[in-house]
Amino acid sequence: MTSTRPLRFLKGHGTENDFVIVPDPDGTLDLTAADVARLCDRRAGIGGDGVLRVVRTAAHPEVRELAGEAEWFMDYRNSDGSIAEMCGNGTRVFAAYLHHAGLAPYGDVAIATRAGVKRAHLAKDGSVTVAMGRVRLPSEQVTVTVGEHSWPARNVNMGNPHAVAFVEDLAQAGELRSEPLFQPAEVYPSGVNIEFVVDRGPGHVAMRVHERGSGETRSCGTGACAVAVAAARRDGADPAVTGVPATYTVDVLGGSLVISELPDGTVEMTGPAVIVAEGVLDPAWRGDLD
């Protein structure tokens, strides 16, 4: 990321899952994994759980074929610089940025991601609803282990992989400084997001999450969706069977999300999205990345 020009950035969060937003409409910025990790460093950089690069879909070779459906592509990177297919909270923050920048009005907006086009609805109260697409439930059996505790986990795919374990106490997940063990390893060759879940009441659960490439985060939108889907199956509330939506409030460390799975297998997520700051990176700081 070599340049003598200041680099504009913004900072946003969705239920305290926070992101560095980098506008790059023409796709000219060479953002390396090392650049992303430095930007997300909470001591030496701006700090965040990931980076949202804002690129015109037609300008990015990975998703150019989606340009007819969505003008903007969310190039999402985890805080360690690795590329991810999708980020639910990031999609809400991305939509909020488009409105903040005058690129999208209140109402509906389409966003291209590596997991396809996601459609969001921006409400005037600051909440954003994202159509997260159709859930997939791979058949492989998975076990998650932390210390002396092991749990069966539901394998859920929301465009990215999740292992959902229902536990007695969220403290059993430990400090989550490193990725919990999962077996069999070959089920998730590129890693997995792991959710630990407890019940709070009817249609109400709470979770902690270890996100691949980021560690424990304050929230995970796709994780909350995976948790709601797994809870509906556990509770005998599969919408494809009952014919009615299954709706759960999912508490995360940074707030709450409302997740609804519809009878056609698609999932909707509603929650807040906030743009908190914007500024420029000093060219001298950027030079340190080279």
CA distances (Å), 153 to each of 137, 150, 162, 194, 250, in order?
12, 9, 9, 9, 17
| C-alpha span between 240 and 137 (Å, rounded) | 13
**Per the annotation, does 211 bind a ligand?**
yes
Asked if residue 126 lies in contact with residue 139, where contact means CB atoms within 8 angstroms, the answer is: no
**Per the annotation, does 279 bind a ligand?**
no
**Per the annotation, does 160 bind a ligand?**
yes
- What's phi and psi for 190, nearest 5 deg? -105, 15
Annotation says 220 is catalytic: yes
DSSP for 51-108 reads EEEEEEGGG-TTTGGGTTT-SEEEEEEETTS-B-S--HHHHHHHHHHHHHTTSS-SEE
Is the link from the previous residue into 184 a cis peptide, with omega within 30 of 0? yes
**Per the annotation, does 157 bind a ligand?**
no
Catalytic residue among 39, 66, 87, 225: 87
| C-alpha span between 114 and 62 (Å, rounded) | 8
Catalytic residue among 164, 167, 220, 257: 220
**Per the annotation, does 155 bind a ligand?**
no
Contacts of 214 (CB under 8 A, 6+ apart): 49, 50, 78, 79, 80
CA distances (Å), 262 to each of 135, 203, 216, 224, 268, in order?
10, 15, 29, 15, 8
Exposure of 177 in the CB half-sphere (CA atoms within 13 A): 2
Asked if residue 95 lies in contact with residue 274, where contact means CB atoms within 8 angstroms, the answer is: no
Mark the binding-site residues, compressed into ranges: 17, 78, 88-89, 160, 193, 211-212, 221-222
Mark the binding-site residues for substrate, compressed into ranges: 17, 78, 88-89, 160, 193, 211-212, 221-222
Active site residues: 87, 220
